[in-house]
Structure 1
Amino acid sequence: MTNEVNARTRRYHSPRRKKQAAATRHAILTAARDLFVQQGYAATTIGEIARRADVVVDTVYATIGRKPALLREVVETAISGTDQSVPAQQRDYVLRLKQAGTATAKISIYAQALAEIQPRLAPVYVALRDAASADSECDALWTQISERRAANMRRFIADLAATGELRTDRPTDELADVVWSMNGPEYWVLLVGQRGWTPRQFAVWLTDAWSRLLLTTGHPRGPGSGP
């Protein structure tokens, strides 16, 4: 009888513990993100993150880890839009992109996804870039994420090539590098942050620009193709 009670108690408390753990993780990530963006990585301490998240320092370490691990998780979750990192090939927009039948549709899906991702990612990415200039672990993370993004762009170009619509007069790695340069958060900061573009304007511009630059069919015509 005692064993049955204990089993029921464990089943009862397990969901509550998971919910509490998820709430704690969310609070820590939110606090870290806000502080990294507001005052920079170097100026932010684990103690400040813990106080803002309303936890003790040991909870920060136990939940996520040291400050470099926190920055990594902040970047990864900014990309995924959740409190967990999601591999590129499992992201919703990547799955939809792969199912799209035309190159223009694939480009449009990706451009719209970027317009949704960049508002949360760009400030964090800039904080990581600044931290990389003075911290070796942040520099390694910056390089890793940059190279991963470049590899993902080569996959994106391969997806476009599979439609038969990709231009063939330029090397595919060169085309991937062009997309890599324009999907970077820095590009978003310049046009949306500094020039005041709307997210929709940014997505429409990328769709049009990439269609012109990458495809044999030129820029798209149809609903939503204009500013």
Structure 2
Amino acid sequence: MTGVNRRRGYDASGRRDQARARRRQIVLSATELFERNGFGVTVADIADAADVSPETIYKSFGGKAGLIKVAFDQALAGDDQEVEVADRPETRAVETEPDPRRKLELYVAAAVPRMVRAGRLMLAIRDGARTDPALRELWTTALQQRLFGMTKLAEHLADSGSLRAGVTVEHARDTLWTLIAPELYELLVVMRGWTIPDYRDWMVRAMIAELV
């Protein structure tokens, strides 16, 4: 009886691993297609690229809107672990750094890779939100979350004495919220062909000049 239980446990574990691998492949395939073709890509296109049936995508993600949300969340985080960005080591490093300029350098050093991973997906969500109600809600939530995050960062800069005299929390929040917008990434990197190091260094200089 014990041997049977071990075998069942092994089989269940193997099936879970296969399911995770299949889910990961679907997300990777969808990410590539969304980045290349926008939200106009079809579920059938994604299923074909991931070598699964369209029914699998609907069952696993609820459809295209649910899939792009998962792809976006994982691109922001850089993995599929359920750890909030605020709880990750790079965020803690910003909070504990005493030098104001270095704080912003550390923040940008973490924010730019997130934009590289998720920027084109953000733009696909933004464009799709014009016609898809589910994406409209997702885009609105993403904007609110970005504003909330920048509010927290601006408050931290104020509380730590990092803001230049006369710079309010509200001004700092709005400046940060604008500088990390996917629209600026689109203009400078996607459309004008800036390199990522140039984009990163410009963002650091802009934040420092405006805030500290």
Same fold per superposition (TM over 0.5): yes
Task: Answer whether contact 2:129 2:139 (CA < 8 A) is retained.
Answer: yes
1:95 aligns to 2:87 (yes or no): no
* Stretch of structure 1 that moved more, 174-183 or 195-204: 195-204
Whether the 8 Å CA contact 2:167–2:211 is kept in 1: the answer is: no
Unaligned runs of 5+ in 1: 216-227
Q: 1:165 to 1:68 in 2, by over 3 A?
A: same
Partner of 1:28: 26
Q: What TM-score, normalized by structure 1, do the two folds share?
A: 0.85
Tell me what 2:135 maps to: 138
- Percent identity reads 30
Identify the residue that residue 218 of structure 1 maps to in structure 2: none
- Which residue identity is paired with 2:63? R
Letter in 1 for 2:91: V
**Cα distance in 1 for residues equivalent to 2:160 and 2:167:** 17
Structure 2 residue 126 is matched with structure 1 residue 125: no
Matches within 5 A, 1:51-130: 51-84=48-81, 86-130=83-127
Superimposed CA distance per residue, residues 68-87 of structure 1 (whole angstroms, 9 cap, x where no aligned partner):
11111111111111135642
Match of 2:16 among 7, 15, 18: 18
Stretches of structure 2 lacking an aligned partner (at least 5 in a row): none
CA distance 1:14–1:97, change in 2 (3 Å): farther
Amino acid at match of 1:176: R
RMSD: 1.8
Q: 1:24 and 1:206 mapped to 2: Cα distance?
A: 37
Match of 1:195 among 186, 192, 204: 192
User: Which structure shows the higher helix fraction?
Assistant: 2
Structure 1 contact 46–60 (Cα < 8 Å) conserved: yes
Higher alpha-carbon deviation: 167-176 or 70-79: 167-176
Instruction: Say if 2:30 and 2:46, in contact at 8 Å, map to a contact too.
Output: yes
TM superposition score normalised by structure 2: 0.91
Aligned-partner Cα distance in 2 for 1:163–1:84: 30
Count of aligned positions: 212
Residue 112 of structure 1 and its aligned partner are, at CA, apart by 1.3
